[in-house]
Structure 1
Amino acid sequence: MHVIIDNLPLYLSGLVRTLQICVYAGVLALLIGVVAAGFRVSPLPPLRGAGTAWVTVLRNCPLTVVLFFMAFGLPELGLNGSYFWFGTIGLALYTSAFVCEAIRSGINAVPAGQAEAARAIGLGFGQSLSLVVLPQALRTVVPPLGNVFIAMIKNSAIVGAFGVGGDLFAVGDTLTSARGLAALPVLLGVVLGYLVITIPAGLMLGALERKVAIAR
C-alpha cells in the first residue's frame, strides 16, 4: 500500500483525467445515441437505413479498431488533434451505438397508442418523439443505459492505452515502466481508481432506477 500512498497525487490526477474522458464521452454518446435512436424508428427509410448502418458498423467493430482509426486514420485525412480528443470522441462514437439500442428498446416499449394520440392532435414525428414518446421511454431504459455507461468507464482504460496521457492507465504505465516499481501494487492502485468511479456511478444509477420505478 505504500506505493499507492507515496504516489497518491499522481493517482488523483489520473483519476481526474479519467473522469474527464468519461464525462465528455458519456455526454457525447448520449446525444448521438438519442439522435441515432430517432433515426432507427423514423418513418423515413433513408433515416432508418442510416441509423441501422451506424449501429451495425460500430457494434460489430472492436473499440481498438475505432480508436486506431481516430488516432492514425484521421491525421492521414488531414484532421489533426490531440490524442485526448481523438480517444474521447472514438469512445463516444463506439458507445453511442449501444446507447442507441438501449433507447430504441425503450421507445418500442411505449404503447403505440401514445404516438397515435400525439399524431391525432397534430404533432409531427419529431414533436411526438421528443415530447411524448422519449420522456416515457427514458424511464424504462435507466438500467440498460447504466450498464452501457459503466462499460464505457471501463473501456476508457483502452483509450488510455492510445497515449491520451495523464489518465489512470498512463499512471500505471509510468510507475511500472519509467520508475520501475512493482507491477502488482501499482495495478492495485489503478484498479482502486476505477472502482472509485464505477461503484458510486452504479449506486447513483440504482437510486435513479428506484426513483423512476416509484414515478411509474
Structure 2
Amino acid sequence: MSKEMCKMNFLKTTILLVFFFIASCPYAIGSVGTGNDRDVNYEMHYPIVYTRDSVAEKKINTDLYQYIEKFRRDYHGGKFINGNFTYEVRFEDDNYISLILHDYRWTGGAHGHTSYIGLVYNKRDGEKLPLRYFIHLTDADFVTIFDFPLYNRKNELLNLKAKFSYKDCPHKIPNNYFLKGNGIVALIFQPYQRAAHAEEMTYTPIEPKWIDYFNRKNP
C-alpha cells in the first residue's frame, strides 16, 4: 500500500472516530434534546436540558417539568380546546442556557393565544435566574425602555406605525426575558402589550452600557 493510500485511510478513520464521539456526546453539538407528546387536541415538543453536572441537570428539568405538566393538566381539565407547546433556544454558553417556551392555547374565537415564557438557567448549579440577576429595573424605567428598538418574533425591527403608542402600553417592566449573547438582555413582551397580535411576541434588547446604567441607578 502506498504512503498516499495510508494517509487517506488514516484520515478517514480519524474523521469517523470524531463523528462517533460527537454523536455520543450531547455537549459537543448542543445540550438540549426534544421530548414529544400528543393527544387528540394537543401536540408538545418540549426541551430536555443536558449538562455535565447531573444535579444541575435534574434541577433544570424538574423546573421545566412544571410548565410541561401544567399545559397537560390544563388540557385535561378542559381549560382550552386545542393547543401546541414548543420551545426555542435563544442562547447558550458554558454557563447559561436561555430558552423561550411557546404555550399556545385556543379557547374559541378568531384565534388562539400564545404565552411566551423566557427561562434562563445557570448550567453549573441548575438555578433559574431572575431578571434582576443581570439587570436592575423598576416600572419607572419603562419610560426609557419604551424608546429602545422593538423587534417581533421574526427578529424584524418594528417601525413607529407597527408599535403601540406610549399611552396604549402597560407601563410595566416584565420579568420575562432572554439572553442574546454579547452581554445583551432582551425583555419579552406578550402579544398586544407593545404591538398587534400579528407581531406575536415582541422584545427589546438592552445592551451592556444600559445595563451598567440601570444597575447603578437601581442598586
- Shorter-chain TM-score bucket reads under 0.3
* Greater length-normalized contact order (CA 8 Å, ≥ 6 residues apart): 1
Structure with the largest fraction of helix: 1
- Which protein has the larger Cα radius of gyration, Structure 1 or Structure 2? 2
